[in-house]
Structure 1
Amino acid sequence: MTYDTRLTPARPDLAAEHLRETIQADAYAPGRRMQVVRSFVDVKRAPADSAPTDTQALFGETLIVYEQKNGFCWGQLDRDRYVGYIDETALAEKSFKPNHRVRTRHTMVYPEPSIKAPPVEALPFGAEVNVVSASKDFSEIQGGGHIFSRHLAPTTRPLSDFVGLAEMFLHTPYLWGGKTDMGIDCSGLAQLALNAIGVPAPRDTDMMEAALGRPADIDDRMRGLRRGDLVFWRGHVAIMRDEHTIIHATAHSMTVMIEPLQTARDRIRSNNFSEITAVRRV
């Protein structure tokens, strides 16, 4: 049986117990739920610091771990079902149920409700926390720490305007597999912004192109585009800001940038002969 290794917790030597009847492996594991307790952590393709980073998991995210060995946990993220290896020191047994998420590019966690206290942590956009008490200025989170209240939003109340959320990351460095304002890639940018408005989004561009929205009603000259349309090339995605310009994380400038769609289209065509493969309207 063939399967997508990015989304299937299976290797020749080990697979998830629920796959016993469908995928052959030397052994099977029931798995246990764990939680990310670091600001963010790389999800690696192999159990080595030098291995490529395929994505990142943010504070509060949960996953099912099927193996813990040599300093790495191998498992599957609950949010987007991605499979990979994570530094075991970034994980703990699940201890809290998130009820708020960070709505700003980054926010500080203070040991007390004072902006003059030295921060103990910084959490990125999309990180999830459990608020146990709140005032106008600060919210106390489970496990200790205080966050400026207006930097948080209830998980039950999606944000709006995912294009505007993506624009918060303008000039952020490009980073393959990145999902924070320390570094982000094209699909990470789209996924973060869509998740924040309550639209579950896969991690990689091919998955997004297959799963998100519907084909946009445009003509051969790209007329009819709207703000929020997703434009896909082979291995790349951009977000329309209006009918003419896009925002995307691109290795061309190694940043998140805004530019005319036609400029990006001509450059991508000339560099790797890739044409636009789809335009999806979410």
Structure 2
Amino acid sequence: MTVTLDRRLHAFRPDLADEGLRGQVEADRFVTGTAARIGVPVAALRPAPDMSRGIDTELLLGETVRVFDRQDGWGWVQADQDAYVGYLPEAHLGEPETPTHIVTVQRTFRYPEPELRRPPVSVLSMGSRVRITGEAETRGTRYLTLADGSALIASHCLPIGAKTAEDYVDVAVRFVETPYLWGGRSGFGIDCSALVQLSLMMTGRSVPRDSDMQAEIGAPIEREELRRGDLVFWKGHVGIMEDKKTLLHANGHTMTVAREDLAATIERIAWLYSRPTAFRRL
């Protein structure tokens, strides 16, 4: 029997492949890859080394990857978080380091020093990982400082491993009105399945990246059983139930993360696409 491997989750090309796939795929050469981390606030991952290609997903500052190839300014990588494979600019890769804290608010500014009146040097998304080396206080505001002297608001971060929220729906609600972005996975722009993945990640749970992969998690239920936290799937789409009647989802209709009445949403989507394919409980 021939097994077709998903190129999104397995690193293989005719000339090069992950050593872990030896015996499963044919390639001229197999490598184990080298460790690296994302060194920019958000790095777009593409299916080919071409800036004109659409975004498959995004990786956040401090997330780690294995790098299988570096060529012509591009890195071919696999994310440690969810095993997603793709290409990103080599300049977006940094040396490995052990993060100490994770950003827990939708977005936060990184200042050049512990002073909120200074122009920020960057903006970080929820889920970004940083290595904190010190603390400071200015006019009663507490900051966490990085090795280069830049600073984040202390209340916007928690130590790695600390539970940031009990209810992943509470996390998802923070993204209401965030712009919809195909392949987006940050507080600057997000798609339907990333809303599920990132919200769950902030409660310490790991799920696959794309909606077709997520359609296998949890257990199937009937529509009449829906309650807060359940997932509703369509072909190529997923939403989170905020309560038994309200759907929370990043969608191309409003081009935002929005709350919608589930029954009305089902009818609207059915007119153009299809009716739900599954209802699942985590």
Tell me whether the two structures share a fold, i.e. TM-score over 0.5: yes
Q: For 1:41, which of 40, 43, 53 is the aligned residue?
A: 43
> For residue 68 of structure 1, what is the aligned residue in structure 2?
70
Deviation at 1:117, TM superposition (A): 1.8
Please give the residue correspondences for 1:115-130 in structure 2 after superposition, counting only pairs within 5 Å. Answer: 115-130=116-131
Structure 1 residues 278 and 135: alpha-carbon distance in aligned structure 2, compared to 1, 3 A threshold? farther
SS in 2 for 1:53: coil
Q: 1:1-282 to 2 correspondence within 5 Å?
A: 1-94=3-96, 96-134=97-135, 137-160=142-165, 161-210=167-216, 212-216=217-221, 218=222, 222-272=223-273, 274-282=274-282
TM-score in terms of structure 2 length: 0.94
Identical-residue share of aligned pairs (%):
41
Q: Is the Cα contact below 8 Å between 1:135 and 1:149 reproduced in 2? A: no
Cα shift at 1:121: 1.5
Q: Give the partner amino acid of 1:148.
A: I
CA distance in 1, matches of 2:268, 2:250: 15
User: What amino acid sits opposite 2:157 in the alignment?
Assistant: L
Q: What amino acid is the match of 1:253? A: T
Partners of 1:277 and 1:143 lie apart in 2 by 50
**TM superposition shift of 1:230:** 0.9
Kindly indicate whether the alpha-carbon contact (under 8 Å) linking 2:114 and 2:136 is maintained by their aligned counterparts in 1. Answer: no
Which stretch shows the higher mean deviation, 127-136 or 77-86?
127-136
Which 4+ residue blocks in structure 1 deviate beyond 6 angstroms?
A: none
Unpaired runs of at least 5, structure 2: none
Could you tell me how far 1:99 is from its partner in structure 2? Answer: 2.1
Structure 2 counterpart of 1:166, one-letter code: A
Looking at structure 1, the residues matched to 147 and 58 of structure 2 have their Cα atoms a distance apart, in angstroms, of 23
Answer yes or no: is the 8 Å Cα contact 1:65–1:76 preserved in 2: yes
Q: What's the offset of the Cα at 1:143? A: 4.3
TM-score (norm 1): 0.94
8 Å contact from structure 1 (residues 13, 27) kept in 2: yes
Q: Provide the secondary structure at the position in 2 that maps to 1:41.
A: strand
Structure 1: which 5+ runs fail to align? none
Secondary structure of the equivalent of 2:198? helix
Partner-residue secondary structure (3-state), 1:164? helix
